[in-house]
Amino acid sequence: MTNLKLAVAATALVALGACTSADRFGPGSGGAASGGFGADGGIAGSVNDPTSPAFFNETIGDRVLFAVDQSTLSPEAQAVLDQQAVWLTQNGAYRALIEGHADEQGTTDYNLALGARRASAVQNYLISRGVAPNRLQTISYGKERPIQICSDETCYSQNRRSVTVITAGAGV
């Protein structure tokens, strides 16, 4: 048990080093390639702890995907966001930064605007499910931060995403 705790602590140190801000849990997708869903696992508590950001990132899922040029939430996306909303309402010590992203098939300006639209669609949905608006912030990265780097639909479909990044703090 002691050994396990040590391992978790070591992972946390590495992950903090790679994070873009100190109060941010989980890799999100604003930083370097993390490969996806909570690859850095233990940083924000155990996946087995339903109140942990790690649980949010990996068990619920921190992201939803979009069709080309669209910001409409699919039924699958809504199901993920329903669970995100429940988690956020039950874990009031956190807030969320919602990142909107686009794939590379588009111009920079338009993709920034499209990412903003996607992040906003997620924000509005979470608010409609009871999350306080002052706990949610949005940002668009346009096509600046792809998570998959090939140039075909298998990658594009993963890059057209919004990522709900859990951060410390009860709201602004």
Binding of residue 36 to another protein (CB under 8 A): no
When binding is defined by CB under 8 A, the residue of 43, 44, 73, 116 that contacts another protein is 116
Q: Min. distance of Cβ 57 from another protein in angstroms?
A: 18
**Closest CB to another protein among residues 85, 114:** 114
Binding of residue 132 to another protein (CB under 8 A): no
CA–CA gap between residue 4 and residue 56 (Å, rounded):
21
When binding is defined by CB under 8 A, the residue of 27, 38, 61, 146 that contacts another protein is 146
DSSP 99-123: EEE--SSS-HHHHHHHHHHHHHHHH
Q: Min. distance of Cβ 124 from another protein in angstroms?
A: 8
- How would you classify residue 35: left for phi > 0, otherwise alpha for psi between -120 and 50, otherwise beta? left
CA–CA gap between residue 73 and residue 29 (Å, rounded):
19
Size of residue set near another protein by CB under 8 A: 36
Per DSSP (E only), the strands in 9-67 are: 63-65
**Closest CB to another protein among residues 84, 140:** 140
Binding of residue 67 to another protein (CB under 8 A): no
Q: Residue 12: exposed, middle, or buried by beta-carbon count in 10 A (0-12, 13-18, 19+)?
A: middle
Binding of residue 119 to another protein (CB under 8 A): yes
CA–CA gap between residue 45 and residue 54 (Å, rounded):
6
When binding is defined by CB under 8 A, the residue of 39, 79, 150, 170 that contacts another protein is 150
Q: Min. distance of Cβ 39 from another protein in angstroms?
A: 13
Residues that bind another protein (CB under 8 A): 21, 31-33, 69, 71, 104-110, 112-114, 116-121, 123-124, 138-141, 144-151
